[in-house]
Amino acid sequence: LAKQRGRDCVQLFDAGVELSLQAKQELLRRLAQALEAREFVLHYQPKVDMLQGRPIGVEALVRWQHPERGMLAPGEFLPTIEGSELEVELGEWVIRSALQQIDSWRALGLDLPVAVNVSARHLLRPGFVRSLRDALAQHPAIAPDRLEIEIIESTAITDMHSALEVLTACRALGVRLALDDFGTGYASLAYFRRLPVDLLKIDHSFVRDMLTDADDRAIVLSVVHLAQSFGREVIAEGVETMEHAQALIDIGCHLGQGFGIARPMPPTHIPGWMSWYTASADTDAPSFAPPP
C-alpha cells in the first residue's frame, strides 16, 4: 500500500487566496497560451475491480505542465477558466487526446476504457454531441463504449431538461456515462431514475470517512444499494487504504479508484502498471500498488 504520499502536482497559489480580477485575467490569458503551446497533459488513474484484482479502465485527469512551476493540478486553473470559451476548448482537447491515447495503447495491445471529465458548460453547449461524434469518427477502430464521460451530479441537475437530452444522445452514440462525485449533488430519485447513466462514482469524501463515521458509511451503503436496485454499476473514489477496500468489498462495492490502488500517472507508466497489477493479483485479497 502506498505509504509515501508523494503528490504528483505542485501548488501554484496558497490555498484560500482569492485572485484579483486582474490576476485572474492575466492567468486566463496565460492559460490560452498554454493550450496553444501544448502545455496541458493528461495523467491517468487506474480503476480496478478490487475483488478480482483486475483493472477495468483509467480516468483521464488534466494537468498543466508549467514551464517554470512544474505540474499543476486542475484545482489550480480550472476555476479560472470556468465560464470562459477556454473551458470548452480545453474540454474538446481532453476528449481528442483521450481518444488518441486509447489508440496508442491499442497499438501496444492494451485495450483500455478511458473516462474523461466533462464540465456542465461544455456538455450543455450546442454542438457538443456533433463534436463528440466527429471525434469518434476520427478513430474508427475504437468502440464508442471504450470512452466514458463523467459529469458531476450537479451538472445533470442544473438544466435537467437539456442535460437529459444531451446525455441520451451521447448514450445513443454508444459512449458510456458516469455520474461523478455522486452523493454531493442532491439529484432527486425521480430524476435519477430517468438519467441514462451506466456508473455512479461515490464521492471520495464519503469513502474517506466511512471507516470512522457511521453516517458516511450509511451513505456509501445507500448509494451501493441504489445502484444495485437500478441496475447501474458503482465505483468508490478515494480508496486510500486496504481497510477502505475491504469495507467496500464487504458492502458489495467491488470497483475502486484511489491513491491506495494507484495515483494518477503519465500515460507511459500505464502499461507497466497494468501488467504489474494483473500479475500480482491475489484472488484471496484485494491488490494494492506500491508507491510509484
- In the complex, the residues that contact ligand C2E under the rule CB under 6 A are 45, 61-62, 73-75, 78, 91, 94, 117-119, 150, 180-181, 204, 237-240, 258-259, 264
Measured CA to CA, the distance from residue 173 to residue 4 in angstroms comes to 42
Q: What is the DSSP letter of 289?
A: P
CB of 2 to ligand C2E, least distance (A): 9
- C-beta of 191: minimal distance to ligand C2E in Å? 21
Picking from 42, 124, 50, 45, the residue whose alpha carbon sits closest to that of residue 281 is 50
Q: How far is the CB of 10 from ligand C2E (least distance, A)?
A: 12
Measured from the CB atom, the residue of 113 and 264 that comes closer to ligand C2E is: 264
Q: Quote the least distance from Cβ 36 to Mg ion, whole Å.
A: 26
Task: Please give the grid coordinates belonging to residue 261.
Answer: 490502488
Distance CA 60, CA 81 (A): 18
C-beta of 181 vs 240, nearer to Mg ion: 181
Residue 148 within binding range of Mg ion, rule CB under 5 A: no
Determine if 150 is a binding residue for Mg ion (CB under 5 A): yes
Q: Which residues contact 18 (CB under 8 A, 6 or more apart)?
A: none
Residues 95, 12, 84: CA angle, nearest 5 degrees: 45
d(CA 230, CA 124): 25
| Whole-number Å distance between alpha carbons of 226 and 228 | 5
Q: Which does 76 bind (CB under 5 to 8 A by kind): Mg ion, ligand C2E, none?
A: none
By CB under 5 A, name the one of 87, 148, 180, 240 that touches Mg ion: 180
What is the contact surface with Mg ion in residues (CB under 5 A)?
117, 150, 180-181, 237
